[in-house]
Amino acid sequence: MLVLLGIFLGLAMWVLNWVYLVLVHRSMQQRTDMIALAGAPALLDEESLMDAAGGLAPDQSDDVAEARAVAHRFREANNSTVAPALSLERDDVRVRAGFIADVTGESGQVHFDAAPIADVDQPHNALKVAAVRSAARSNPVSLLLHGLFGADSADVSAGSLASLDNLVVGFRPTPTANSPVTPLAIDMAAWRTERVADADGNEINELELRLKSPLAAALPANAALVAWDAQSPINLLVAEDQIELGVSLDDLHDSGGVLGPATPSAPRAVPSLAALPNAMTTRNFARAFNRLAASHARACRVFALYDPHASSATELSVVGFIAARVQRAVVADQRLVVFVEPCFLLHHTAWTESPTNAALAPERNAYIHKLRLSR
């Protein structure tokens, strides 16, 4: 009887320790997920915004350092919210930056801790976080019931990989989240060639977006209003709301709830309006863009790019999207003029597809990313 009691007590201790270790592992896994997601956006190379095509050879050493710093700041802040027994010390956590060729996981090409990558098409786009609390180090996981089979602690580990998916072909608003897309589209050639000198001291050149005006023939238009719901004529009240609020599912009832696909290989035709109809509407649109600019945190918006050679007077051929921060808007020569500069935008409503999907053939986007846990 005593033997059976001893076996039962030993089994009960083992089960309690096992349950405790499972809970510790679950906590560590949740924390590595959050640390990876918090640090990955810091990998975005700000210097790439200083060129119209985002084509500067990347030097991401400062960005990798910042990603690691963000990760550890997040680790330390999270330590203050958990029990001391669940704390992660700096030596428990390893943070590595790398490149994933296909964030959907279909190709399996993952490169970490390599030499700096010279190819502009392969910047660091992923952050791997590994947490190990080892019995052989300073912060082991102490067993809930000590002394079972002579053990006082155990090894527990967890790992997460966050990636920046920039294979953007469109946007999918959700019932609770609008897509941050404006109703203003930009001439693709103008985006690449017309950016003027920086006006706010951050070394990122701005672009002056201009609608058509009969009074300003010397400066041709390089932008147009678009209707994402495929309705023509354009509902100007809806378009004005979209400037500040983005595009909702209700705005897309005629287009299947998806802004896209729109790539060079799969362009999308959308109704367009080259000029606003009157002075009052023009002023209202300028005010809406200025309110957006004043919001600062929300001022980074998505603009469509259109191919002027494949477009008509009433329909644009949209071939992609860029992200730009709205600086200000004015009414000049009775037309709307909006000043923007490139920015990075991470948004969960971005629609991305695998590069193996030949029907869409998405291209890497220098400005727009979707943050995901890819492993």
Q: Is 67 left (phi over 0), alpha (psi -120 to 50) or beta?
A: alpha
pLDDT above 50 (res 363)? yes
According to the model, what pLDDT value does residue 106 have? 52
What distance in Å separates the CA atoms of residue 216 and residue 52, rounded to the nearest whole number? Answer: 25
- 206-215 tens-digit pLDDT: 899 999 987 7
Q: Is 201 left (phi over 0), alpha (psi -120 to 50) or beta?
A: left
The C-alpha angle with vertex 347 and arms to 357 and 159, in degrees rounded to 5, equals: 80
pLDDT above 50 (res 159)? yes
Confidence label for 358 from pLDDT (cuts 50, 70 and 90): low
Q: What is the pTM of this model?
A: 0.86
Nearest in space to 351 (alpha carbons), one of 260, 247, 243, 264: 260
| Better pLDDT: 149 or 315 | 315
Choose the weakest-confidence range: 36-45, 95-104, 268-277, 322-331.
95-104
What distance in Å separates the CA atoms of residue 358 and residue 187, rounded to the nearest whole number? Answer: 26
According to the model, what pLDDT value does residue 118 have? 46
What distance in Å separates the CA atoms of residue 191 and residue 95, rounded to the nearest whole number? Answer: 36
What distance in Å separates the CA atoms of residue 333 and residue 213, rounded to the nearest whole number? Answer: 7
Choose the weakest-confidence range: 78-92, 96-110, 311-325, 331-345.
96-110
Choose the weakest-confidence range: 211-220, 259-268, 302-311, 324-333.
211-220
> Is residue 1 helix, strand or coil?
coil
According to the model, what pLDDT value does residue 117 have? 46
Strand 268-273 and strand 300-306: the pairing is unpaired
What is the 8-class DSSP label of residue 33?
A: H
Question: Looking only at Cα atoms, what is the longest distance across the chain?
Answer: 102
Choose the weakest-confidence range: 147-156, 206-215, 265-274, 344-353.
147-156
pLDDT above 50 (res 119)? no
* Neighbour tally for 84: CB within 10 Å: 6
Q: Which residues are 126's β-sheet partners?
A: 98, 163
Confidence label for 297 from pLDDT (cuts 50, 70 and 90): confident
DSSP string, 258-296: -B---BTTB-EEEEEESS-SSHHHHHHHHHHHHHHHHTS
Secondary structure in 3-state letters for 73-90: HHHHHHHCCCCHHHCCCH
The average confidence (pLDDT) of the chain is 84
pLDDT above 60 (res 163)? yes
What radius of gyration, in Å, describes the C-alpha atoms of the chain?
Answer: 26
10 Å CB burial of residue 119 (0-12, 13-18, 19+) is exposed
pLDDT above 80 (res 240)? yes
According to the model, what pLDDT value does residue 341 have? 93
According to the model, what pLDDT value does residue 364 have? 84
What distance in Å separates the CA atoms of residue 3 and residue 365, rounded to the nearest whole number? Answer: 68
> 352 with 375: CB under 8 angstroms?
no
- 8-64 tens-digit pLDDT: 555 666 667 777 888 888 998 999 999 999 999 999 988 888 754 445 556 788 899
User: In this structure, what token pair is assigned to residue 11?
Assistant: 């089994």
According to the model, what pLDDT value does residue 146 have? 66
Confidence label for 148 from pLDDT (cuts 50, 70 and 90): low
pLDDT above 90 (res 120)? no
> 261 with 268: CB under 8 angstroms?
yes
